[in-house]
Structure 1
Amino acid sequence: MPDAALLDNHLAFLAAHRGAVRRSAAGIEVVGESAEFSAWIPLSPSAELPAGTATVRLVPWSGEGWEERLTAAGFQPAEVLVHMEAAVEPTVDAPVAGVVAAIETDEDAAGFAEVQSAAFLDEDEPDYDWWRQKFLELAVRNHRDPDQLLYLRRVDGDPASVTLLLRTGAIFGIYAVATKPTYRGRGLASALLAQARWDAAEAARAARSEGAPRLTLQVVEGSDAERLYLKLGFRAAFRSPHFRRP
């Protein structure tokens, strides 16, 4: 059975950046800031599906039989998230000093949110303005969290690329990897990831008592991102199929 610590890190990210997480013996309810991020994760093969559930995420701890139950209840298969992991190891050389660093100011937090909006949102979306404001609020709040490092790479002063590192125990999760469309293909995200991996290794060396440190992230199965992270030394830890009501 895969290590639940990887899932716990992902849930910590969802609680900090996408909504709220409520746990019970039967399952985990993710209540998103918008409906697209809401889901229920069963933790027992005999758990009762909560009324009104629109999205179900399965994990190895869900038990057998859920795919058949969900299909019978009218759910349809959607994307599959692959939870990946890698050992925390520093790169051969430290990242170039001064090129990338974790943000420390609300101004840089605003730049972080600007990149997220440009990378993840479509200006024609009805909730575009709402999400832009939400990204800003979350970045300003979360860059102060000692268990999170938010990174911003600028090009000629313009916010261009971001990522963040979230720590839970010995697990370091990489999230929100994004680059503005006009700056893609320049290796900006790779520099951010190198810095995040380096910082995770440094933090792990300072806390050896917490167990073997690992990096984790989630990608859509079969995507270009999955192939990239496999090349970077990550391996698949477990799959999380999604099912949605039409």
Structure 2
Amino acid sequence: MSRPRLLDLFCGAGGCSVGYSRAGFDVTGVDIEPHDDYPYDLIVSDAMRVLLGVDFLSEFDVVHASPPCQAKTTMSNRYRGKGGRTDEHINLIAPVRDLLLTWGGLYVIENVPGARFDLREPITLHGGMFELGVDRPRLFESNAPLMLAPAPATRNPLGVYGARPDGRRLWTRADGTEQRAAASIEAAGAAMGIDWMTDFRDIAEAIPPAYTECIGGQLLDYLERAA
């Protein structure tokens, strides 16, 4: 029996893709840049252009999209409106949703917590739900019902972001908990549940696959009930 097909737009090196594959989907990725570590079929193209192809989208049971989040990060919110590069970041969430709704199929849109008011009834997943070494909260909108069980946040989470893994201390709270940056690519990957990426920037921009493995299982149940 063939597996349901999922198209992962703005896929990067495949954090979301691997999670969906583990859940049971046959995954194809789309990204504007090539990624040698991407483990499935990869279409190197502008995802917005791909979204215009309704006939192509209809070859898939689900479309996932992770539009660039730079416009909604904490750092962008801090510096927006001051005439710097932050003001050049484009928010693609609404245009992506409009094209997915025109297509009419099952979709998921993922983004950072700063995009909460741009997303429709999103759920939040974080590393503590999956016993990961990172906090990394991310929001997920879908036109299928998604559920989650609450869980405490990761204590002393590793910071997996920035230009390189330098191990520096990022912050310490009054209760003694702290966050340090990953000191190596291997440590960053282990904290995220990622073992196939070799470029730190890819890991730093990735979604832990445990998130979409969880969501993918729910989507499969939804598709089975719909059938």
Q: TM-score range by the shorter chain?
A: under 0.3
Structure that is richer in strand per residue: 1
Q: Which has the higher contact order (CA 8 A, sep 6+)?
A: 1
User: Which structure's CA Rg is the greater one?
Assistant: 1
TM-score (norm 2): 0.27
